[in-house]
Amino acid sequence: MLLKIGGTFTEPTYKLDIRKALEAKAKQAAKKKLKKIKEQQKEKLKKKIDEKLKDKIDDELKDKLKSLFK
């Protein structure tokens, strides 16, 4: 519903307030989702790095053990 004020059509202020509130809520939800995605990516990266380090350490230990028993 548009109101004519001073020769221009505008929406009632309560509709503008509702729209602003909905936009703010959507923006906040998007920020939360983005933060959650970033945290998940960090966790995946940490796991991947830990696995690679563990594999590297295991390989080095195996090599040292082999050299000891030769």
Q: Which two tokens stand for residue 62?
A: 């195996």
Write down the residue that tokens 């929406």 correspond to: 11
Q: Which two tokens stand for residue 34?
A: 């983005």
In angstroms, rounded to a whole number, what is the distance separating the alpha carbons of residues 37 and 45? 12
Answer whether residue 68 shows pLDDT above 90.
Answer: no
Phi/psi of residue 30, nearest 5 degrees:
-65, -40
pLDDT in tens, 8-27: 666 666 677 888 889 999 99
Q: Which two tokens stand for residue 70?
A: 């030769």
pLDDT in tens, 28-66: 999 999 999 999 999 999 999 999 999 999 999 999 988
- Residue 6: its H or E element: none
The pTM for the full model equals 0.56
Residue 7: pLDDT band (50, 70, 90) is low
